[in-house]
Amino acid sequence: AQWAMEFSFDVDALLPERITVLDQHLRPPARRPGTTTPARVDLQQQIMTIVDELGKASAKAQHLPAPITSASRMQSNRHVMYVLKDTSARPAGKGAIIGFLKVGYKKLFVLDDREAHNEVEPLCILDFYIHESLQRHGHGRELFHYML
């Protein structure tokens, strides 16, 4: 049984922290001194793969016709994505991803008490996913608290 999203590359080396914050640049986090690193282009490609696969998993879980989270959409919007890594030891030893939370500012129209339309631009939850095998374990709550 799969317990989290695993990838062919080393997630632990790519994302050293339990929660990684990604913006439109999709840059790999700063490296620990003394670690050998592949080219940054390769690392960014790996991050894009993670974002794309998480987006597909989220869309599937929500029965959406297409993903609303992808690397290309992240690059063209000012959204912020919080990626939660499984820090427990895995047999493969490459780490795995538990889920993510994506936020961004959206223009919304709200009615006030006089029924007048007012445009506001609050920070909104845009997409959210926790791997099916790890739901109801507090991981989503951990992501929300970190974001707040």
Question: Residue 119's beta-bridge partner residues?
Answer: 109
* Domain definitions of the chain by residue range: 5-147
In three state form, how does the secondary structure of 70-94 look? CHHHHHHCCCEEEEEEECCCCCCCC
Quick one: average pLDDT of 2-27?
A: 88
| CATH classification code of 5-147 | 3.40.630.30
Mean pLDDT, rounded, for 83-110: 87
C-alpha distances in Å from residue 45, one per residue of 31, 40, 88: 16, 8, 24
* Reduced DSSP (H G I as helix, E B as strand, rest coil) percent helix, strand, coil of the chain, to 5: 30, 25, 45
Q: What is the pTM of this model?
A: 0.87
Distance (Å, whole) CA 122 – CA 87 = 32
> Residue 114: CB partners within 8 Å, gap ≥ 6?
none
Q: How much is the mean pLDDT over the chain?
A: 89
Percentage of the chain surpassing pLDDT 70? Answer: 88
The model's pLDDT over 37-94, given as tens digits with 9 standing for 90+, comes to 556 668 899 999 999 999 999 999 999 999 999 999 999 999 999 999 998 766 567 8
The confidence band for 34, taking pLDDT boundaries of 50, 70 and 90, is low
